[in-house]
Amino acid sequence: MIIMAVDFGDARTGLAVCDKAEMLAVPAGVITERRFEVCAEKAAAAAKERGAELIVVGHPLNMNGSAGARAEKCEEFAAALEAASGLPVTLWDERSTTVTAHQYLNDTNTRGKKRKAVVDAVAATIILEGYLAHRRASAESKS
């Protein structure tokens, strides 16, 4: 199944997709949009364009597992995206993914404008990799 992950942000929203075998997650671009509803519509169009059957939206819970204001905004975005796309949308805990994305970019010496342009897509890829690992582990435990 092709799955698209979304790292929703106020100014930039990162996208990532996986292959049908759910083995490889890759960055799929960044939506630069500040208007909430327009961003949801653009993400829905990206999902359709890529043939996604499921969308995973990063859910930035607090370190203690509670949902703060940012998590609630992502929940609202997920609902808007589900309505705009007609696809099932699930939330996935994304604690520390942006920090991890910055670490990856440090390791590859990606700096300046290029870094700003890709960090959100890298974060979306990390979200998707975590979700895919969970799906594989769940499938293995059922076997």
The residue with greater pLDDT, 58 or 118, is: 58
Q: Is the pLDDT of residue 141 over 80?
A: no
Which residue in this structure is represented by tokens 């609630």?
72
Domains of the chain: 3-142 (3.30.420.140)
Which letter does DSSP use for residue 87 in this model? S
Span 44-67, average pLDDT = 92
**Listed range (12-16, 37-41, 73-77, 112-116) with the worst mean pLDDT:** 112-116
Span 31-36, average pLDDT = 94
Nearest 5°: phi and psi at 26? -135, 150
CB 95 within 8 A of CB 23: no
Query: For 1-143, where are the alpha helices, taking DSSP H only?
Result: 36-49, 69-85, 97-107, 112-142
pTM, entire model: 0.87
The single-letter code of the amino acid at 37 is E
Nearest Cα neighbor of 5 from 135, 136, 125 is 125
Q: What's residue 104's pLDDT?
A: 62
The residue with greater pLDDT, 103 or 57, is: 57
